[in-house]
């Protein structure tokens, strides 16, 4: 998998084959022999830069059939729970696999991500996406996580589910002492139920947040926050197994 | 290094020695033989839980003589730049080492963090803190980064400096094609100069953000955003070497 | 009632009598003969400026025994409902009268504010505060507004009550066609119930907001949002009788 | 001037003449004889409600050729400066007159708004808009406010100008002791210059803010902040003449 960028800074994901765009085509052998930093030319002479592929490039370009959690929210989860290389994570529901791929990039080959998806069609897309990025530390499971978590001794259980509280008790059993449960939910009502269940089940340090990322624009006419911003994505709820 | 938590959920960092608190003391041998999940008792019978030490626990408890960047801001940096296991990072200025330790936890043993600090006293604290957490992938350098970056082929250069633009040109040379420069600065004026220099030096995708993390409180009397929140920490500026 | 400001920009409310401070005293006759813009001197020679008293000066300095709604939130109510000179308002609960005084300042002598307070002690404080500012367009009523609204043909009914929905039906009857109900409530749960009841009772354009006022600091070292800000005061809910 | 609302809650401004819509037409005599609360029927039997016209209805429907300041920001100005019935205001630049009309509605017939506009075409639109709402307390002046303020003894000078600092000195002379200068500017650079000039000219309590109004959505599927919100409109800067 290679990422090419054209003169307009538009990104393309390219396999080991001839590549066609509105700027002309690039020959298969040119692509196969290229490495990050090279400039490839189409038969019309337009230039494409080969870029070291980044997890965000890949997620932006991969196959998706459902909405994904934004990097800003996954970044808060990573930072808050102390996620890093070698950690063991369970993730549900998988969707197209963006969250699992994001965490897999962080935990690396010495870590593990086991991701549960109830819908077969999503699990298949996720499987393709995981393989497409060459990740060997992700296990996509087409399974209902509310029926049980197979893994043990986890550093984090991350839930992107309508009713994350249904997994609270099993998550507690599956987590290390010191491990975190984390959840992404769009609605206040979900936060309310989840916080109550997490406390009841015996989790500590139950907290919820929202992360508002505000762009700042520096132009010749002046500096100001961007006019457009997302008013809300979802609430992040955390609790620790102590 | 072990982290203990008392009945009030207060955290302690404990070495291989007898441990004294206002709840009594715990014997050296009890501590040495303990593992995460164990409950240790003081001579007064008070209970302390042994917890799998987390990078945030460690940073909270380690020696500091200067303010640190909050996890929320480092999380945005990690997510935005696609940082993960195996990545190569340069960081400046080190301070007490919190940022370097945070990134070192993410990139893991197969990655590297080289951190530049101009003040010898800070570099010494950072060195102790890095070793205290057992990290072998961090190199603390007592060196002025504006005089040059020794490393090459980097995935990210992160700058927590008053004048980050002084490093823009060297950072570009030190980064992989596709790599990121990222900067944390408290003031708008810094963002203005930095954005202009980054564009001039030839970086792409120059963008600045602020991350506002808002706590949500679920209590028996009702749910509401927390009354207290930080109005501002710093601006995050990113650019990519394409 | 006069407002004096000292050299530190501290404000004082002064009646027709000798005035004592830590900067010395000012004679009764000097105070009585003063007008806005004059500078009065204490017997120690310290200067106090006489200021045209403003409704906010007065509310800041008047007697209070309970928390008040901040100007930012009242300003949104005024602007959103098109409040202005000559409008007829009902307000509940009064508290120390700050909200009623704020609205009375807007609607002026040709307008009316009728404010309902269930606690006698608060109603008495409010009555004193209203008179102290010389307002003749405010009627303080020690009465439970949930038992009925005496007034008719109102432009706005403003509710600062724990259960504002109990007044929804009576408010609708008391409002002009085109008039607004507005409510200030700290908790999400209150917003949820209120919105449902307002829709059920037949109000149109039911909307809720929160107003986040963020200070910007321009100092010689740089410009930035203020570190301290209120994370939350209350939610404002509006609906129109169409 | 009458405001009608159709079954879809769409608003229309109607003069003393036959009224045509996609729902049919309403006869001139029906319109002339109507009052707030009446229901008028088109020749096709569709219903239109007559509504007590509100300043916001009028501003929404009146002729505009330029962007206007949102009610949220004008509400903060009103609240912060203690604006109310009987106050004397100077406003510049007028644009279509929305700000002047907003303030005129607050200060009422016993107050005054003098609004300065340098462009003749805008001043003419503003004049028509002011008259269309029947306001007699607004004076539209086609004049460059940087050449001097004709009025004295003002409670507020409000500036919606690219270089509001050019008016700082004259504003100070025109204000009462205790009066306010207020300014709306989109860019940080404007805030920086304005704050410095206001302090230099001798204003007190120089402060800047931004007002973020966030909608909250209560739906059957759950409660959450609205997805869409304005990331930024403008900064509000205030100073007091003490």
Write the DSSP assignment of D65-114 as a string of letters: SS----HHHHHHHHHHHT--TT-EEEEE--TTSHHHHHHHHHH-TTSEEE
Question: In chain B, how long is the greatest CA-to-CA distance?
Answer: 66
pLDDT of residue D217: 96
**B228–chain A nearest CA distance, Å:** 13
**D146–chain A nearest CA distance, Å:** 21
Q: Which residues pair with D2 in a beta bridge?
A: D14
> Domains of chain D by range and CATH?
2-53 (3.10.330.20), 58-240 (3.40.50.150)
Q: Do B187 and C226 touch (CB under 8 A)?
A: no
Listed residue (D109, D170, D116, D166) closest to D140, CA to CA: D116
Q: Do B105 and A85 touch (CB under 8 A)?
A: yes
Q: Which residues in chain C touch residue D78, judged by CB atoms under 8 angstroms apart?
A: 75, 78-79, 106
pLDDT of residue D37: 87
Q: Do B177 and A215 touch (CB under 8 A)?
A: no
Q: Which residues pair with C39 in a beta bridge?
A: C49
Examine the pLDDT at C16 and tell me if it is beyond 90: no
pLDDT of residue D228: 87
pLDDT of residue C117: 98
Q: Quickly list H helices, A47-184.
A: 55-61, 71-81, 98-107, 120-132, 168-174
> For residues B160 and B117, is the Cβ–Cβ distance under 8 A?
no
Q: Do B177 and A37 touch (CB under 8 A)?
A: yes
* Model confidence pLDDT, tens digit, residues D13-67: 898 899 999 999 999 999 999 988 899 999 999 999 998 778 999 999 999 888 8
Examine the pLDDT at C37 and tell me if it is beyond 90: no
pLDDT of residue A1: 75
Question: Would you give the distance in Å from CA C139 to the centre of its chain?
Answer: 14
Identity of the residue in D51, D76, D235 whose CB atom sits nearest the CB atom of C75: D76
Lowest mean pLDDT among B1-15, C20-34, D219-233: B1-15
Write down the mean pLDDT value for chain A. 95
Q: Do A227 and D232 touch (CB under 8 A)?
A: yes
Q: Do B37 and A75 touch (CB under 8 A)?
A: no
Identity of the residue in A186, A215, A224 whose CB atom sits nearest the CB atom of D186: A224
* Model confidence pLDDT, tens digit, residues A118-146: 999 999 999 999 999 999 999 999 999 99
Residue from D194, D224, D230, D237 to probe the interface with A (highest A Cβ count within 10 Å): D224
Q: Do B204 and A9 touch (CB under 8 A)?
A: yes
The CA distance from A174 to A159, in Å, is: 13
In C, what residues contact B, Cβ < 8 A? 186-190, 210, 214-215, 221-232
The CA distance from A184 to A204, in Å, is: 18
Q: Which residues in chain A touch residue B108, judged by CB atoms under 8 angstroms apart?
A: 84-86, 108, 110
> For residues C56 and C7, is the Cβ–Cβ distance under 8 A?
no
Mean pLDDT of D130-155: 97
Closest alpha carbon within chain B to A197 = B218
> For residues A91 and A113, is the Cβ–Cβ distance under 8 A?
yes
Identity of the residue in C52, C80, C109 whose CB atom sits nearest the CB atom of D85: C109
φ and ψ at A37, to 5 degrees?
A: 100, -25
Residues in chain C: 242
pLDDT of residue B160: 98
Mean pLDDT of C24-41: 92
The tens-digit pLDDT sequence of chain B (242 residues) is: 788 999 888 999 898 899 999 999 999 999 999 988 899 999 999 999 998 778 999 999 999 888 899 999 999 999 999 999 999 999 999 999 999 999 999 999 999 999 999 999 999 999 999 999 999 999 999 999 999 999 999 999 999 999 999 999 999 999 999 999 999 999 999 999 999 999 999 999 999 999 999 999 999 999 999 998 888 999 999 999 98
Examine the pLDDT at D2 and tell me if it is beyond 90: no
Cα distance between the two ends of chain A = 42
* DSSP letter (8 states) at residue D2: E
**B44–chain A nearest CA distance, Å:** 22
pLDDT of residue D9: 86
Q: Do A215 and B208 touch (CB under 8 A)?
A: yes
* Model confidence pLDDT, tens digit, residues A167-209: 999 999 999 999 999 999 999 999 999 999 999 999 999 999 9
Mean pLDDT of D229-240: 95
pLDDT of residue B142: 98
Please list, in sequence order, all residues whose beta carbon lies within 8 angstroms of the beta carbon of residue B10, skipping any fewer than 6 positions away: none
Give the strand pairing for D11-14 and D19-21: unpaired
Examine the pLDDT at C1 and tell me if it is beyond 80: no
* Model confidence pLDDT, tens digit, residues C83-135: 999 999 999 999 999 999 999 999 999 999 999 999 999 999 999 999 999 99
Q: Which residues in chain C touch residue D81, judged by CB atoms under 8 angstroms apart?
A: 54
Identity of the residue in B210, B222, B231 whose CB atom sits nearest the CB atom of C229: B231
pLDDT of residue B228: 87
Q: Do B37 and A212 touch (CB under 8 A)?
A: no
Q: Which residues in chain C touch residue B221, judged by CB atoms under 8 angstroms apart?
A: 187
Q: What is the dihedral of CA A62, A67, A69, A72, to 10 degrees?
A: 80
Report percent pLDDT > 90 for chain C: 87
* Model confidence pLDDT, tens digit, residues A35-87: 888 999 999 999 999 987 789 999 999 998 888 999 999 999 999 999 999 99
In B, what residues contact C, Cβ < 8 A? 186-190, 210, 214-215, 221-232
Chains with 3 or more CB pairs under 8 A to chain A: B, D
Closest alpha carbon within chain D to A212 = D231
Q: Which residues in chain A touch residue B84, judged by CB atoms under 8 angstroms apart?
A: 55, 85, 105-108
Q: Do C74 and D79 touch (CB under 8 A)?
A: yes
Identity of the residue in A189, A222, A227 whose CB atom sits nearest the CB atom of D188: A222
């Amino acid at each position: 998998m290679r990422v090419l960028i054209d003169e307009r800074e538009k990104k393309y994901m390219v396999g080991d084959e001839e590549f066609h765009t509105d700027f002309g085509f690039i020959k298969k052998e040119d692509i196969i022999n290229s490495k990050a930093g090279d400039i490839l030319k189409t038969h019309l002479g337009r230039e494409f830069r080969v870029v070291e592929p980044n997890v965000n490039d890949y997620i932006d370009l991969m196959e998706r059939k459902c909405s994904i959690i934004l990097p800003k929210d996954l970044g808060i989860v990573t930072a808050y729970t102390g996620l890093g290389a070698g950690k063991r994570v369970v993730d549900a529901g998988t969707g197209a696999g963006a969250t699992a791929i994001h965490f897999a990039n962080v935990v690396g080959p010495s870590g593990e991500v086991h991701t549960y998806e109830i819908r077969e069609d999503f699990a298949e897309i996720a499987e393709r996406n995981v393989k497409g990025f060459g990740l060997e530390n992700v296990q996509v499971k087409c399974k209902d996580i509310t029926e049980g978590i197979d893994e043990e001794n986890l550093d984090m259980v991350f839930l992107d589910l309508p009713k994350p509280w249904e997994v609270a008790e099993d998550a507690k059993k599956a987590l290390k002492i010191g491990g975190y449960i984390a959840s992404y939910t769009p609605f206040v009502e979900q936060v309310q139920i989840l916080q109550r269940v997490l406390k009841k089940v015996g989790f500590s340090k139950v907290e919820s947040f929202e992360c508002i990322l505000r762009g700042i624009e520096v132009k010749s006419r002046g500096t100001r926050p961007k006019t457009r911003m997302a008013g809300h994505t979802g609430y992040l709820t955390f609790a620790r197994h102590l």
